[in-house]
Structure 1
Amino acid sequence: MKKQLCSLLVFLSFLGLQAQFNENPVSWRHEVKALSEDSFEIKMIADLEPEWHLYSQHTAEGGSLPIEFTYVNVGTDYETVGPTEESATEKAYNEVFEVEETFFSGQAIFTQKIKRLDPKVRQLSVELFYQVCKEVCIPGDAVLTISLDGGKAIVEEKNIDDRSKAMAAALKLDIKNKEILNSGDGESVKTATGPWTIFGLGFLGGLIALLTPCVFPMIPLTVSFFTKGAQNRSKGISRAFLYGFFIVLIYALLSLPFHLFDSVDSQILNSIATNIWLNLFFFLIFVVFAFSFFGYFELTLPSSWANKMDSASSKVGGILGIFFMAVTLAIVSFSCTGPILGGLLGSTALAEGDVANNLSIGMIGFGAALALPFALFAMFPAWLNSLPKSGGWMTTVKVVLGFLELALALKFLSNADLVAHWGLLKRELFIGLWILIGILMTAYLFGWIRFPHDGPKKKIRGIRLFTALASLAFTIYLGLGLAKVVDLKLLSGFPPPDFYSVVETESDCPLGLDCYKDYQSGWAKAKASGKPIMFDFTGWACVNCRKMEENVWSDPEVYELLKNEYVLISLYVDDRKALPPSEQFEFKFDSGKVKSIKTIGDKWGTFQTANFGSISQPYYVLMDTEGQLLAPAIQYTDKDTYLAWLKAGLKNHN
């Protein structure tokens, strides 16, 4: 909820607020002091209008957005010396975000020392991204060009032509009561994947990795090393626990690069779910992972890495030596853990929310599962005798994982197909391929087909028999769903939507509803019929959108209201289909930032941001054709909450 509130406050610079607030509540100037021939001290000074706040680089995470400086051509024309320093700040607790924020009032001064590398350089550019807040928050996005010869700073703004201005104006709504947009109690919005769920998935992945031949045989060997090599049992246990801690730490550190990406662009990881080429890349990677698990080849890191880490662990000794042992385990076991970690990355990318944080949580869960047996068996070494022997069952685990990787690979291919409108992987074909995968996995588990590295045939029993029967049952369930005998609500969000079918349908809208794919025609229909509008901001690759449509919209009461009482306008913000050249234009936000509108997704994503201050999907808004909001906006939620929301909108309309 905090993330959604932050998104709302960041982008809430709308038509209708301009008369109330100054459009540019912050102005910039600079001072340059020469410290030597090629060394300078630059002061960037922000003068703020009364009551407006600009936020520090170091304000608490989860609150208002900090100011960011990007020094253009640093490292070639010049280099920065030390961090960008700030003048005195203020602090106050923000009850909305529940964090203490650090900000400036009146004036903010940022000081940066630089050393010129090229004597010919006479000016430098600094890209600024910041947020200023009063009753609302306005983002600032500009380029500050600073002369090293004492000239004035210039804020570069991209000019757009009259045609673009007219088309941009047509994309803005005159909303009369925008203050109620986010005035709900906050309990109606629910995230589909919470941190504990992500941790649980990561932990489950780690438990599965334990059963693979790359990891399982190392448990008794490593535990025996700690317990027998120590001077006493308590020291052996403490070393084993430290070993487990380092395993968790190593996998947690693997997620750090994604936080760096996220700090550059908060949406860069979420774009995985909609970018065509990234989805195709993930599809190919997961197919490679699958065939690796089938035993046709192995994915391994260079053996020299493992040798160096092993050598370091034996030479260094102590705590550092134990750390290198944990690194060695991570490297040696990569051929089994790598594809599972890839699945964790893929699942996290498909989930909603903060991808980088979710990935860290999942990685910690994965590492905790791997570390757990080393700590437990070190504490209770007698349990080692109860461990099953290594054998063919571990190969079975790998092959089953290979089939699951293939199934997940198809999801990424489906995302690319939906977003690009290729029409290659319709719903029936997608489900059919999953059925084929299910048949092959069932046949393998029953011993009817075999893969490289499989041992001698044995009688099918125990867990393998149970897994084979579960695979058969799921395959039958898919077949019944394909035949329309049962619905496939358990899989909501994974197969393509019902209307993306090889069979011609009367409607290309969810559940056969009447919907409009552009707001102008939908608005005209609502005006003619006198019905209220429901804006449905959705996406072709949006898992939670499909879950809402198939689990909530399909409810008879909800469906009846959507069909008969509202004009449904479904706008796909991830649609990569290019607009005709005559409909492409430049959209200039009130902050001065200019965005090129070239695709359908560009247009409706900008429409959502500029009018409602949100960038997430699904996102639902009720309003009438007079510009009155009928209820606060709502997102992913349950059937009862959604039904009550629709009824409240009708009541307020009447």
Structure 2
Amino acid sequence: MRKITLALFLFVLAIAARSQVVEPVTWSFSQNKVSETEYDLLLTAKIDEGWHLYATELPEGGPIQTTFYFEGLENAELSGEISADKEAIDKFDPSFQLDVKYYEKEVTFKQCVKLTGTSGTVNGYVEFMSCNDETCTPPMDQEFSFKLDGGNAAAATTFQADTDSDDAGGQKRNYWSIFFIAFLGGLAALLTPCVFPMIPMTVSFFTKQSKTQAAGIRNGIWYGLSIIIIYVILGTVVTAVFGAESLNNLSTNPWFNIFFALLLFVFAFSFMGAFEIVLPSSWVNAVDRKADKGGLIGIFFMAFALALVSFSCTGPIVGALIVEAARSGGMAPVVGMLGFSSALAIPFALFAAFPGWLNSLPKSGGWLNSVKVVLGFLEFAFAFKFLSIADMVLDLRILEREEYLAIWIAIFMGLALYLWGKIKLPHDSPMTHLPVSRFVLGTMVFAFVIYMIPGLWGAPVKMISGFPPPVDYAESPQGVGKSQVQGVATSSVNVDPGKHIGPHGIPLYEDYDKALSESIKTGKPLLIDFTGKGCTNCRKMEDNVWVDPEVKKMFLEDYVVVSLFVDLREKLPESEQYISETTGKKVRTVGNKWTDFQISRFHRNTQPYYVILDQNETELVEGYGYNSDPEEFISWLKTGLEMNRNK
């Protein structure tokens, strides 16, 4: 009886352990006969809530895309490209600095084939990966087989596997954040010399138009709404002409990123006073004549006149906002123009309704031109973001992390000197003394410059995370001159042939057997990092946890660390390929090997995942998954060290 109870207990433990292997994607395969010689092969993926499956086309340097391999075709040939039954969600991934596409819930891929005999077969497999907002699965593959024998549908097969994703939810981007950024852009535009002086003119216009206070309030509200309508129409036209998804696709194209950068350079130089962007005077005069007619139509054209007259100042801001909103696709340009126009419209509507408030406004002066110049510096800096994306997509490595930071340091140093009055630009008014406001703002910008400088030597500079290229897209992982590794002297880092320089300059083993030998030799516990080149959440752990000084110190001094990449596509020699006893799947690549190792030994298949072993390969403490709190990770590492000392 005791033996039966023990066996049952062990069986329950085995089931519980196996349940740690997540399977968020289920595949089913079927076929439709189109004609006597044509068939549609349907490959359907059902995706669990909160997970997503990557699309079939992704830029280089990102996650692993879904790929279909049709290897065994007998009396059949492929016709055309494989296609999906719906548009993929397109979203910017800050960890990879790329736009990635993925599917949620369910998607069916279709491949057309032509039969070249009386019957035929199509064999192959699909390779895929998925993520949620905390973890990713390794690339998995599922074999399929179709028999083309008169159009009878082959028996559908199903398989559950893991796929890689980055964020759940499926929003193109947080529209509220776009609205807020655009709203700030509208407030900045309000303080430019093309817009601010228009406020007294507006008050004068509405003083003549409004006979009573009620009429003034009504006209002011209509004036504000007219401004919003005009700019929202602009955003709608941009979205309609280019298409919601086309805007995003363009923004991922390196050549259009270069075009966007050049556009921002033009806007920046215009703000700095090199030249002025103006619309044809005939347009402005025509709208002015319409505004003189009065009434609601006249008020609308008054708002239109404001948009045209102020274009030399608002145009660069509007252009930059539309370019940035294009990165999100969907209705982002419309939302952006709504935010921008709201910030612009509210003050004008209020002053139109309550002209007496005009007395509280500061007088126009040279400070308005200074606002334009500051905006010019900012647009000049942001232009390099688009150049950086193009550089990374093309893998030119011209604008790596160090160069990018050096350029930003120079730009913002120039801005600080301008605010302190050390640099003069065209249209600047004479300055007999330095205003306190400019001194304070210049000092803050200078402090920002000092903050960025350590980034040249490998500091994370989290305040501007997402703007510079990632740390691995740099001249050296150790920083400029290789004099320091993110706060760890290079003299203490021994990089032997079995290691490679990992994130934040931490040397890591890349071969499990060599790492185990080193663990046995030194008596240090072995830390396994199950990771992936295309694992977004692994990058998040590295950027938020590995960068902690105490974590790095423990990695270097207390542990032997090996990183096993589950998505390496390097083929194993034929003699080393095998069928997994755990999954029943063929292990073809190095990544498959480490995936099978993780599943069979630790009953997990998600990344990131960390395991601590002693010299006998016994697990010292329960494995550690995604958790971006450095203190939690440090506590886990200390527990592993304590268990290793007490064994």
Fold match by TM threshold 0.5: yes
Mapped to 2, the partners of 1:545 and 1:346 lie a distance apart of 30
What corresponds to 1:550 in structure 2?
Answer: 543
Selected match of 2:187 from 193, 196, 207: 207
Q: Look up the equivalent residue of 2:181 and give its one-letter code.
A: L
Which one has the largest radius of gyration? 2
Give 1:626 shift. Answer: 5.8
Give 1:379 shift. Answer: 3.6
Give 1:561 shift. Answer: 8.8
Any idea what SS the aligned residue of 1:214 has? coil
Give 1:288 shift. Answer: 1.0
Selected match of 2:199 from 219, 234, 239: 219
Mapped to 2, the partners of 1:414 and 1:545 lie a distance apart of 23
What corresponds to 1:295 in structure 2?
Answer: 273
Selected match of 1:478 from 452, 461, 471: 452
Mapped to 1, the partners of 2:171 and 2:560 lie a distance apart of 29
What corresponds to 2:141 in structure 1?
Answer: 174
Give 1:210 shift. Answer: 0.3
Give 1:273 shift. Answer: 5.3
What corresponds to 1:375 in structure 2?
Answer: 349
Mapped to 2, the partners of 1:622 and 1:556 lie a distance apart of 33
What corresponds to 2:371 in structure 1?
Answer: 397
Any idea what SS the aligned residue of 2:307 has? helix
Selected match of 1:569 from 550, 553, 565: 565
1:211–1:397: 8 Å Cα contact kept in structure 2?
yes
Any idea what SS the aligned residue of 2:256 has? helix
Mapped to 1, the partners of 2:29 and 2:142 lie a distance apart of 19
1:427–1:498: 8 Å Cα contact kept in structure 2?
yes
2:126–2:141: 8 Å Cα contact kept in structure 1?
no
Mapped to 2, the partners of 1:190 and 1:129 lie a distance apart of 17
Change (3 A) 1:441 1:157: farther
What corresponds to 1:36 in structure 2?
Answer: none
Give 1:342 shift. Answer: 2.9
Change (3 A) 1:192 1:332: same
Change (3 A) 1:457 1:567: same
What corresponds to 1:533 in structure 2?
Answer: 530
Higher relative contact order (CA 8 A, sep 6+): 1
Change (3 A) 1:444 1:230: same
1:403–1:441: 8 Å Cα contact kept in structure 2?
yes
Give 1:336 shift. Answer: 0.9
Change (3 A) 1:526 1:294: same
Give 1:396 shift. Answer: 0.5
Question: Are 1:313 and 2:291 matched, yes or no?
Answer: yes
Any idea what SS the aligned residue of 2:565 has? strand
1:258–1:356: 8 Å Cα contact kept in structure 2?
no
Change (3 A) 1:530 1:626: farther
What corresponds to 1:602 in structure 2?
Answer: none
Any idea what SS the aligned residue of 2:532 has? strand
Change (3 A) 1:431 1:275: same
Change (3 A) 1:311 1:553: farther
Give 1:527 shift. Answer: 13
2:527–2:561: 8 Å Cα contact kept in structure 1?
no
Change (3 A) 1:571 1:210: farther
Selected match of 1:498 from 460, 467, 471: 471
Mapped to 2, the partners of 1:183 and 1:283 lie a distance apart of 31
What corresponds to 2:85 in structure 1?
Answer: 130
What corresponds to 2:441 in structure 1?
Answer: 467
What corresponds to 1:511 in structure 2?
Answer: 504
Give 1:478 shift. Answer: 2.2
Give 1:178 shift. Answer: 7.1
Q: Look up the equivalent residue of 2:377 and give its one-letter code.
A: F
Give 1:261 shift. Answer: 6.9
1:261–1:269: 8 Å Cα contact kept in structure 2?
no
Give 1:488 shift. Answer: 1.3
Mapped to 2, the partners of 1:344 and 1:475 lie a distance apart of 25
Q: 1:236-255 maps to which residues of 2 (within 5 A)?
A: 236-255=216-235
Mapped to 2, the partners of 1:525 and 1:302 lie a distance apart of 72
Change (3 A) 1:212 1:444: same
Give 1:299 shift. Answer: 1.4
Q: 1:142-291 maps to which residues of 2 (within 5 A)?
A: 173-174=140-141, 181=162, 194-257=174-237, 259-260=239-240, 266=245, 268-272=246-250, 274-291=252-269
Selected match of 1:406 from 380, 383, 404: 380
Change (3 A) 1:237 1:572: farther
Any idea what SS the aligned residue of 1:356 has? coil
2:290–2:298: 8 Å Cα contact kept in structure 1?
yes
Selected match of 1:418 from 365, 389, 392: 392
Mapped to 2, the partners of 1:332 and 1:217 lie a distance apart of 11
Change (3 A) 1:526 1:285: farther
Return 5+ residue gaps in structure 1 as ranges. Answer: 1-13, 30-45, 54-63, 65-124, 143-154, 574-578, 580-607, 612-620
Give 1:408 shift. Answer: 0.8
Give 1:572 shift. Answer: 12
1:28-73 C-alpha deviation (Å, 9 max, x unpaired): 79xxxxxxxxxxxxxxxx9x99x999xxxxxxxxxx9xxxxxxxxx
Q: 1:42-53 maps to which residues of 2 (within 5 A)?
A: none
Aligned residues: 475
Question: Are 1:431 and 2:405 matched, yes or no?
Answer: yes
Change (3 A) 1:523 1:207: farther
Change (3 A) 1:378 1:314: closer
Any idea what SS the aligned residue of 2:534 has? strand
Change (3 A) 1:23 1:178: closer
Mapped to 1, the partners of 2:163 and 2:568 lie a distance apart of 22
Selected match of 1:639 from 623, 628, 634: 628
Selected match of 1:355 from 329, 332, 347: 329
1:293–1:401: 8 Å Cα contact kept in structure 2?
yes
Any idea what SS the aligned residue of 1:412 has? helix
Change (3 A) 1:214 1:128: same
Q: Look up the equivalent residue of 1:130 and give its one-letter code.
A: D
Any idea what SS the aligned residue of 1:438 has? helix
1:526–1:532: 8 Å Cα contact kept in structure 2?
no
Give 1:131 shift. Answer: 5.1
What corresponds to 2:311 in structure 1?
Answer: 334
RMSD value, Cα: 5.6
Give 1:367 shift. Answer: 0.7
Mapped to 1, the partners of 2:323 and 2:627 lie a distance apart of 25
1:454-484 C-alpha deviation (Å, 9 max, x unpaired): 1122311132222111122112222344356
Change (3 A) 1:428 1:632: closer
Give 1:365 shift. Answer: 1.2
Mapped to 2, the partners of 1:512 and 1:331 lie a distance apart of 53
Return 5+ residue gaps in structure 2 as ranges. Answer: 1-22, 47-51, 53-79, 88-103, 117-121, 130-138, 144-157, 483-494, 518-525, 571-590, 609-625, 641-647
Give 1:437 shift. Answer: 1.2
Q: Look up the equivalent residue of 2:180 and give its one-letter code.
A: G
What corresponds to 2:581 in structure 1?
Answer: none
Q: Look up the equivalent residue of 2:475 and give its one-letter code.
A: S
Q: Look up the equivalent residue of 1:510 and give its one-letter code.
A: P
1:180–1:629: 8 Å Cα contact kept in structure 2?
no
Mapped to 1, the partners of 2:481 and 2:357 lie a distance apart of 61
Change (3 A) 1:477 1:641: closer
Mapped to 1, the partners of 2:442 and 2:543 lie a distance apart of 29
Any idea what SS the aligned residue of 2:274 has? coil
Any idea what SS the aligned residue of 2:330 has? helix
Mapped to 1, the partners of 2:195 and 2:230 lie a distance apart of 16
